[in-house]
Chains A and B, each alone.
Chain A
């Protein structure tokens, strides 16, 4: 087995993309740094250049000016195909090769890199395991024999196959039904917890960005970066009216959904309090519970039902401040 690779940093340095014959640039003087092992969500309306910006990294789109550096090296200085083989790539429509089995699809990049058959076989099984598709059942299936969710799992396994330090994901869950999407979002977070890749994740769904992103970059029409912040900061202090509108009028509630009861200071238990909520509940759900029960407070219990403390509405409001 190969040792997991060290995560790397991605830097956009005044990166600009102009298409000939268009007055407005697709990506305009974009500068941002993605720390090693972080998920950066590129969010914005269509025409915001988020996919274009992402493709500058693996040179599916070539820079007009400025630079993009991966692990300190300019992508311009690297051979295009070598660069791409070192970057995982996941797209919304998955793009599995219909004439290859699941195993052959996953083996694509290792094969290009000339791994031995044995190493490839072992790696394929390991990856199918990682994305929760039992290798024995799935190895020799074709894409036409998979559900949408299973296809994207294979897409993810294929992108991870050669253990690239960087992953580019272009609305990977955009075509899935809400339940499958939520499940895959959780799986991605679990896998990212293990692997710590540097990920650029493009989405137009701010809720998805808040869920999976360590940092969120909001791009406006014309490829202008408006704000680049952690989800909580973005929701608490939107840089301008555009961001405020984009994150939504319910941004207070969204902030509450980022935190669960176990993470906040509680007041000591003061006798019998209802309703009761386990400490894994998000503050958003806790608030909802208080409102629906007509209560100003609730009792927080741990997994074994032992009281941990009391959360009051007043305290909740303070936390948002």
Chain B
């Protein structure tokens, strides 16, 4: 048209985006389907896999440690050491072996869940009152029946408490996965950090927080459903 300077078109960039204000709802609306929603779904997957695998390992380890006390020390020490390694450093250590892959990310995320999950499952299993164990033995429960029908149900509150902490911290930690692979809510944050695009950083951050809150709430509801005795009204 005229000799006006050509301004590059950022979609339907509004003034808000152009001015890089703190939070622009129209950008979020426009980029939900292409950027934010896929990142959120990836984030949920990364977290779910990490917590599920971490729980499986910690659960088995805790069962073994419950049966054989000697196992507790070494596994607790191992998971504590893993826990203290900074995540960036852990990625650095893993990338040469497992490459820039989901596997690298999951190994790290799983590693961080082990300590809390192992400790909570084991504490839960050990929380059965001695007189309850004696009654179970005296009535002819086998060891296995005691574990599955008494000790594990009674450990549920501690187990779910561990799952809550592990899930919330994994959701926070999984943003760092973007160092290694372009997945999760960390990806939009990393992209936006390059030119400090505030809305994208804030939106992704808020989504991570919301995800953590929702996951935590779901676990609380699950616990209420699974442990009706813990909420039974005391006076009748």
Interface residues of A (CB under 8 A from B): 58, 60, 80-85, 89, 91-100, 108-109, 112, 141-145, 155, 158-159, 168
Given A145-B233, A145-B234, do A60 and B154 touch, yes or no (CB 8 Å)? no
Q: Report yes or no: A141 in contact with B232, Cβ–Cβ below 8 A.
A: yes
How does the 8 Å CB contact mask read for B168-188 relative to A, with 1 for contact and 0 for none?
000000000000000000000
Known: A97-B132, A98-B132, A99-B227. A91 touches B138 (CB 8 A): yes
B63 close to A (CB within 8 Å): no
Chain B residue contacts of A60, Cβ below 8 A: 134, 137-138
Distance in angstroms from A34 CB to nearest chain B CB is 19
A108: B residues at CB distance < 8 A: 139
Can you list 7 contacts pairing A with B, beta carbon distance less than 8 Å? A60-B137, A94-B135, A95-B133, A95-B136, A109-B140, A142-B228, A143-B229
> How far apart are A89's CB and chain B's nearest CB, in angstroms?
4
Q: Please give the residue numbers on chain B whose beta carbons come within 8 Å of chain A beta carbons, in ascending order.
A: 129, 131-142, 145, 150, 153-154, 227-229, 232-236
Let me know if B233 and A89 touch, CB within 8 A: no
In the complex, the answer to whether B141 meets A98 with C-beta atoms within 8 Å is no
In the complex, what's the smallest C-beta–C-beta distance from A116 to chain B, in angstroms? 19
User: Is there contact, CB below 8 Å, between A144 and B229?
Assistant: yes
Residue of B nearest to A168 (CB): B138
A95 close to B131 (CB less than 8 A): yes
Cα-based distance from A47 to B134 in the complex (angstroms): 20
Residues of B within 8 A of A92 (CB): 131
Q: A142-B232, A145-B232 are in contact. Are A84 and B142 (CB under 8 A)?
A: no
Inter-chain contact A99/B229, CB cutoff 8 Å: yes
Q: Which of A84, A112, A142, A144 contacts B138 (CB 8 A)?
A: A84
Q: Which 6 A-B pairs have the closest CB atoms?
A: A95-B135, A84-B140, A93-B131, A89-B138, A85-B140, A95-B131
- The answer on a CB contact under 8 Å between A84 and B134 is no
Q: How far is the CB of A17 from chain B (nearest CB, A)?
A: 17
CA distance A244 to B106 in the complex (A): 74
Extra inter-chain contacts (18) besides given A83-B140, A98-B132, CB under 8 Å: A60-B138, A85-B139, A91-B131, A95-B136, A97-B132, A97-B136, A98-B129, A109-B140, A112-B145, A141-B236, A142-B228, A142-B229, A142-B232, A143-B229, A144-B229, A145-B236, A158-B139, A159-B139
Question: Which residues of A have CB within 8 Å of B134?
Answer: 60, 91, 95
Tell me if B139 and A109 are in contact (CB < 8 A). yes
Q: How far is the CB of B96 from chain A (nearest CB, A)?
A: 48
State which of A94, A112, A143, A159 has its C-beta within 8 Å of the C-beta of B141: A112
Interface centre among B134, B138, B227, B233, by most chain A C-beta atoms within 10 angstroms, is B138
Q: How far is the CA of A109 from the CA of B141 in the complex (A)?
A: 9
Q: Would you give the shortest CB distance from B140 to chain A, in whole angstroms?
A: 4
Q: How far is the CA of A144 from the CA of B150 in the complex (A)?
A: 16
| Inter-chain contact A98/B229, CB cutoff 8 Å | yes
Tell me, rounded to whole Å, the shortest Cβ–Cβ distance linking B33 to chain A.
46
A99 and B156 alpha carbons, distance in the complex (Å): 10
Q: How far is the CA of A67 from the CA of B107 in the complex (A)?
A: 57
B133 partner residues in chain A, CB cutoff 8 A: 95
Q: Which of A94, A142, A145, A159 contacts B131 (CB 8 A)?
A: A94
A145 CA / B229 CA spacing, docked (Å): 9
Looking across the interface, which residue of chain A has its beta carbon closest to that of B235? A145
Q: Which residues of B contact A91 (CB under 8 A)?
A: 131, 134-135, 138
Q: Which residues of A contact B150 (CB under 8 A)?
A: 97, 99
Bound form: Cα–Cα A84–B143 in Å: 13
Within the complex, which residue of A95, A99, A145, A159 is in contact with B154, where a contact is CB–CB below 8 Å? A99
B142: which A residues are within 8 A, CB to CB? Answer: 81
Instruction: A168 to B140: give the CA distance in the assembly, Å.
Output: 13
Report the minimum CB–CB distance from B154 to chain A (whole Å).
6
Whether A144 contacts B139 by the Cβ 8 Å rule is: no
Give min CB distance, B11 to chain A, whole Å.
56
Shortest Cβ gap from B184 to chain A (Å): 38
CA distance A251 to B49 in the complex (A): 73
Instruction: Give min CB distance, B161 to chain A, whole Å.
Output: 16
Contacts of A95 in B (CB 8 A): 129, 131-136
CB distance A84 to B236 under 8 Å? Answer: no
How far apart are the CA atoms of A128 and B227 in the complex, in Å? Answer: 24
Contacts of B228 in A (CB 8 A): 142
Question: Complex formed: what's the CA distance from A159 to B138 in Å?
Answer: 10
Contact in complex: A81, B140 (CB < 8 Å): yes
- Minimum CB distance partner of B150 in chain A: A97
Contact, CB under 8 Å: A84 / B139:
yes
Nearest A-chain residue to B143, judged by Cβ: A81
Contacts of B153 in A (CB 8 A): 99
Q: What is the chain B residue whose CB lies nearest that of A113?
A: B140
Shortest A160–chain B CB gap in Å is 12
Known: A89-B135, A99-B154, A141-B232. A112 touches B140 (CB 8 A): yes
Given A98-B132, A99-B227, A84–B232 Cβ distance below 8 Å?
no
Instruction: Tell me, in angstroms, the Cα distance from A95 to B132 when the chains sit together.
Output: 4
A144: which B residues are within 8 A, CB to CB?
Answer: 229, 232, 234
